[in-house]
Structure 1
Amino acid sequence: MKTKVVYVKSTFPSDIDSVFKLLTNVKTLQYIASPYASFKIIGEDKELIWKEGQTFSFLFKMFCFIPYGTHTIKIINFNKDGIYTNESNTNVPIWNHRIKLIDNGNGTTDYSDEVEIGAGWKTFIVWLWADCFYKHRQRKWLKLIKTRKAVK
């Protein structure tokens, strides 16, 4: 199956430890995804903990109201340098996501999302949506970091 790649990079005004701590909380994913998408964990009523080897399934809704199947996330790597997941959805069988974090040494962190998408004939359409989605996510990340700094 042919795939397309989305790549989006930003510099966050926060140290790498703070960014990584936010990444460990599923509520961060839910916040930065909205309103492009919503993720509700299936079959768990305890706090989700991201770690290597874990697999989680979510009810996925586009724009927080259009059901778009079950989205499964298998965590391959999860550490402060970055995260790599093999993901898939009922409608998108290939959604491999790499988050890379680079400590700039000056209190800022380079953050990038690289996502390989394969969805058969829908690949281009899904890629267009994903490109907008990941740009949106990084804008929400910046808003979240600035808000947290203002509160401190």
Structure 2
Amino acid sequence: MKTVYIESELAADLDRVWHLMQLPATFLYLCRGLFGVPALRRRSEPMQAGERGAGWLMAFHALPAYRHTIEVLSVDDATHTIRTHEYGGRIRSWNHTLRAEAVGPGRCRYSDTIEIDAGWFTDLVALGAAGIFRYRHRRWHKLIRIQATRQTPNTRAAFPPR
């Protein structure tokens, strides 16, 4: 088991980030360019504890990488934390904790903690995960900047195409 931890301070209030964290459209936007999950394209409802789903992860939106399964363990409004258990392909276990906390007026800290077990491939998968999550955090900053200039915070239109 290996743990990857990435955090960023975002120029957005906690309620805004917490709302975005729960939307499949946010996940798809943050990963755009690296991979896609066709099963989530039409999904608009927020994540709910107890949900479980599986679908193809498409590398660079074109190449089927592997079937990925996700189970949402908890969505905690009090601690602004989402916990998932995921697996697929070489990954035996990918336990992901997403968390947001206020750090000042109009600012919050967002973090991802991923505990990875991929057998012999754990170190390689953890290295890849660190790169993916650094990319995702850059996309978080971009999303917050773009949405700050728009008036459609709760709709798909709030997500820029690239």
Q: TM-score, normalised by structure 2?
A: 0.84
Percent pairwise identity: 28
> Take 1:100 and 1:45, find their aligned partners in 2: how far apart are those partners?
25
Displaced runs of 4+ in structure 1, greater than 3 A? 44-49
Unpaired runs of at least 5, structure 2: 152-162
> Take 1:45 and 1:82, find their aligned partners in 2: how far apart are those partners?
24
Q: TM-score, normalised by structure 1?
A: 0.89
- State the 1:131 CA deviation: 0.4
RMSD in angstroms over aligned alpha carbons?
1.8
| Alignment-derived partner of residue 40 in structure 1 | 38
- Counterpart of 2:13, as a letter, is D
> Take 2:98 and 2:4, find their aligned partners in 1: how far apart are those partners?
12
**More moved, 53-62 vs 137-146:** 53-62
Q: Per-residue CA shift, 1:28-82, capped at 9, x if unaligned?
A: 101101212211228x966444111111212112333332211111111113421
- Equivalences for residues 64-103 of structure 1 within 5 A: 64-80=61-77, 81-103=80-102
Aligned equivalent of 2:4, options 6, 12, 15: 6
Say which SS state the counterpart of residue 35 (structure 1) adopts. coil
> Take 1:91 and 1:61, find their aligned partners in 2: how far apart are those partners?
15
Unpaired runs of at least 5, structure 1: none
Aligned partners of 2:96 and 2:114 also within 8 Å = yes
> Take 2:142 and 2:42, find their aligned partners in 1: how far apart are those partners?
28
